[in-house]
Amino acid sequence: MEQETLDKINALTRREFKAEELYTFPVVLCGNEIDRDFERFSDDALEQMAPLFIGKTIISDHDMKAENQVARLYDVQVISDPEALTKDGRPYKYLKGFAYTVYTEKNADLITEIDAGIKKEVSVSCASARRICSVCGASVLDAPCEHQRGQMYDGKLCHYIIDGVTDAYELSFTPVPAQPDAGVTKSYHEKGGNTMEQDFTPITTKADFDTAVQEAVNAAVAAKAAEFEGFISPEEHQQALDALAAEQKSALRKAYCEKAALMTGLPDTLASRLTGDTEEDILKDAQMLSAATKSGFATPHFDASGTPMDGVEKAFFEKNPDLKK
């Protein structure tokens, strides 16, 4: 390990550490490529982020708890690759960090997982002032435009450009980062030794581009499905609507029957016996039943208490003379 590297690390520690106590690894934080969320960092944003991320912690899954801290960034640089282009034809740039942790019994599994490529993918967390539409240049946080991320306009993919980074929070190990190229780069380590890195390989062919776009589409579909997880399906929604409509129809017919019984002088007990599907049919049935029960009785009849009996009650007692009135 070079003295310059050791000095940068010890600038962040409370005591002086020796090279043999430290494990270091390189990591690509993010770049100016369009990511799975159809966003990208501007070149200026990368320059703004580099100094902000020096000294920042590396955690797991953006879960901001002290016990989740596993490493720390001691250096961050903006790297330009003149031979590589982004999906939309711009010179490719990315933010490369250098991190350290300490050789301890607790960190043994973490170091093994990093070397084995298990702990690899990462995602940045930061604050930015602007998100700019790539189609019209509108600042969508201030005045949203009509263009939608992920849609094609005049042959160009609409995406948001993240600009004006004001703060850097942390870097996280996460299984599915927004930027597929972000992660720990392959390297060879010796305890206290130097790191020999392999070249970073961006997308350069149409086949790779098509594959990356399909991955982005699949990720977007999966994210949208997860967003609506737990909601009912369209079929279940229609079944619920049909049940509600049937319930409302039944309640409306009951109201029509009660109204018809009241208008024709029928007792409430006969309202449920009326037939017909429309208000007009139900009223006609009520009128016929009322006429049948009241015909032939010109004067009111009374029961033993002196209360007038309607036609239905009078007819019932005439057919059953042995019952007490």
Is 196 a member of any domain? no
Is 301 a member of any domain? yes
**Which pLDDT score is estimated for 229?**
66
> Domains in the chain: how many in total?
2
**Which pLDDT score is estimated for 301?**
53
Is 242 a member of any domain? yes
Specify the DSSP class assigned to residue 93. Answer: E
- C-alpha to C-alpha distances, 297 to 72, 108, 284, 304, 309, nearest whole angstrom: 101, 103, 21, 18, 11
Is 125 a member of any domain? yes
**Structural domain that includes position 181:** 3-190+206-220
**Which pLDDT score is estimated for 158?**
94
124 and 175, same domain (yes or no):
yes
Is 36 a member of any domain? yes
**Which pLDDT score is estimated for 203?**
61
7 and 43, same domain (yes or no):
yes
20 and 158, same domain (yes or no):
yes
Is 17 a member of any domain? yes
Structure pTM?
0.54
**Which pLDDT score is estimated for 227?**
62
- Cβ-contact 310, 267 below 8 angstroms: yes
Buried b / exposed e along 260-278 (16+ C-beta atoms within 10 A): bbeebebeeebbeebebee
**Which pLDDT score is estimated for 190?**
37
- C-alpha to C-alpha distances, 155 to 87, 88, 135, nearest whole angstrom: 13, 11, 11
144 and 244, same domain (yes or no):
no
**Which pLDDT score is estimated for 36?**
87
**Which pLDDT score is estimated for 92?**
93
Is 101 a member of any domain? yes
Among 36, 54, 52, CA closest to 216 = 36
**Which pLDDT score is estimated for 32?**
92
7 and 34, same domain (yes or no):
yes
**Which pLDDT score is estimated for 198?**
36
In angstroms, the CA 140 to CA 23 distance is 42
66 and 167, same domain (yes or no):
yes
Averaged over successive runs of 10 residues, the pLDDT of the chain (325 residues) comes to: 93 94 93 90 95 93 82 95 88 94 92 89 90 93 91 92 92 77 48 38 64 70 65 80 86 87 85 87 88 60 56 59 55
212 and 266, same domain (yes or no):
no
Is 225 a member of any domain? no
66 and 170, same domain (yes or no):
yes
**Which pLDDT score is estimated for 176?**
72
